[in-house]
Amino acid sequence: MAHILKCISPIDGSVFAEREALSYNAATQAAERAQAAQAEWATRPLQERIDLVMAGVAAVGAMNDDIVPELAHMMGRPIRHGGEFGGFEERASHMATIAQEALADIAVGEDATFKRYIKRIPHGVVLVVAPWNYPYMTAINTVAPALIAGNTVLLKHATQTLLVGERMAHAFHSAGVPEEVFQNVFLDHDTTSRLIAARAFDFVNFTGSVNGGREMERAAAGTFIGLGLELGGKDPGYVMDDADLEAAVDTLIGAAMFNSGQCCCGIERIYVQESLFDAFVDKAVAITEAYKLGNPLEPETDIGPMAHIRFAEEVRAQIDEAVAAGAKAHVAPKPEDDGGAYLTPQILTDVTHDMRVMRDESFGPVVGIMKVSGDEEAIELMNDSPFGLTASLWTADIARAQQVGDCIETGTVFMNRADYLDPGLCWTGCKETGRGGGLSVIGYHNLTRPKSYHLKKVTT
């Protein structure tokens, strides 16, 4: 019996799109087509692969007027934010720019007797399992460098953003990337796991939940397939006593609430030194109260619905539990808060790490703010988490930020900014946030394998 994947729009709960999931046999055939096409694709000149990928990126950009409202329908992001093409293009462009150097042979030495060097060899077939919250940008993080490096790619997108992979594949094919080289596939979880277990792929990159990452590891157990995993987060902000208060509040609250708080590196907990705490909270509440919650298709809407009602239910539960345990909620329910996917953005104080809202991933428009005495207490609290993706430090002293940053268990340390992915830096995490790394030169290293050449010359 066919398995139908349905995207339920958070705007009104209607079915926005549906597609039939591939059977295991059909999915296996797609992987086999990718495998058969990979050798020829890898022998094409690197610059040709770069040009084709960037033409595909441009073709996605040409669809942006249609993509923006489509994203609003699928996952609730307001149209006023304009979609994702800026970051999508920035990331692909950077990876294209560094490709020649990142993929160049590593010369070890040559003399009259030996020539020695290391090549970067594509894995083969790469499966990209992309999430719904930034569906274009998270996908291109791996799709672009994987293709440029000479891999073929199968893209499986989240059901909540069902049409994204279809659009990307159409754009890339229209630009000249062969259909077998980049395929969009509709798969259910069971078929995905079976394919991984059967070694249908040579590398898998997954962005999603911690439980999803565990399922990927279980499926790959014993196969020796490489995995790149970006999983949960509970990213902290720390405002030191010498911080620019206005900039810190504006940036950290924006990073907590943008996209209805559904950001991989969104700020979910904030620690403020005592001298700035009251002023920070007052400004944070004022900003949050001013947000317009509503239909994401309306241009004045700042915050749309969460992508699915079950996500909103989890955030409400965390808020309610915290308040019952003594936390203070500062923002009154907005008229548009329907008890479903539309959720009032919330600021909490009097929170502790005994509350789930300060421990578990919220992935919604809520942030807890705690007063701290100084760097030592802030470091202890920032590290008191099973996750480690980013941390945002606010100070005028770069040496102090470096010293604090060295003590934090995280993948990225920001100073005086937050919620941004710099493609020149490795995007990575630690602890339950996952393993591996995307973008930068290291992204290419993870999408290829080293192959050593030790060549002894014939001498007479």
pLDDT, one tens digit per residue, over 228-262 is: 999 999 999 999 999 999 999 999 999 999 999 99
**Taking 70 as the threshold, does the pLDDT of residue 121 lie above it?**
yes
d(CA 356, CA 139) in angstroms, rounded, equals 30
d(CA 80, CA 293) in angstroms, rounded, equals 13
Give the three-state DSSP class for 453: strand
The 8-class DSSP code of residue 359 comes to: T
Q: CB burial class (10 A; 0-12, 13-18, 19+) of residue 56?
A: buried
Give the pLDDT band of residue 358 (cuts 50, 70, 90): very high
Residue range 28-45: average pLDDT?
Answer: 98
Q: What CATH class is the domain 4-231+433-456?
A: alpha beta
Q: Tell me, what amino acid is at 337? A: D
Give the three-state DSSP class for 59: helix
Beta bridge partners of 122: 448
d(CA 414, CA 27) in angstroms, rounded, equals 41
Residue 177: name the closest of 151, 158, 204, 207 by CA. Answer: 151
Q: What is the pLDDT of residues 94-104, one digit of tens each?
A: 999 999 999 99
Please tell me the predicted confidence (pLDDT) of residue 460: 72
- CATH number for the region 235-423 comes to 3.40.309.10
Tell me what percent of the chain is helix, strand and coil, each rounded to the nearest 5.
40, 25, 35
CA dihedral for 49, 51, 52, 58, sign (positive or negative): positive
User: What does 300-320 look like in DSSP terms, one character per residue?
Assistant: T-SB---SSHHHHHHHHHHHH
Exposure on the CB side of residue 184, measured as CA atoms within 13 A: 20
Residue 257: name the closest of 395, 81, 412, 387 by CA. Answer: 81
**Taking 70 as the threshold, does the pLDDT of residue 133 lie above it?**
yes
Please tell me the predicted confidence (pLDDT) of residue 449: 98
Q: Over the Cα atoms of the chain, what is R_g?
A: 23
Residue range 190-198: average pLDDT?
Answer: 98
Residue range 197-206: average pLDDT?
Answer: 98
d(CA 410, CA 436) in angstroms, rounded, equals 13
Please tell me the predicted confidence (pLDDT) of residue 139: 98
d(CA 6, CA 221) in angstroms, rounded, equals 30
Domain ranges of the chain: 4-231+433-456, 235-423
CA dihedral for 147, 150, 151, 154, sign (positive or negative): positive
Could you tell me whether strands 427-428 and 182-185 are parallel, antiparallel, or unpaired per DSSP bridges? unpaired
Catalytic positions: 230, 264
Please tell me the predicted confidence (pLDDT) of residue 1: 67
Average model confidence (pLDDT) across the chain: 97
Residues in CB range of 402: below 8 A, 6 or more apart: none
Residue 16: name the closest of 64, 60, 62, 69 by CA. Answer: 69
Place of tokens 């157990």: 221
**Taking 80 as the threshold, does the pLDDT of residue 372 lie above it?**
yes
Q: Tell me, what amino acid is at 112? A: A
User: What does 233-302 look like in DSSP terms, one character per residue?
Assistant: --EEEEE-TTS-HHHHHHHHHHHHHGGGG--TT-EEEEEEEHHHHHHHHHHHHHHHHH--BS-TTSTT-S
Residue 153: name the closest of 124, 182, 188 by CA. Answer: 182
Distances (CA, A) of 44 to 12, 37, 47, 52, 61: 47, 12, 8, 11, 25
d(CA 181, CA 152) in angstroms, rounded, equals 5
Give first-to-last CA distance, the chain, whole Å: 70
Neighbours of 413 (CB within 10 A): 15
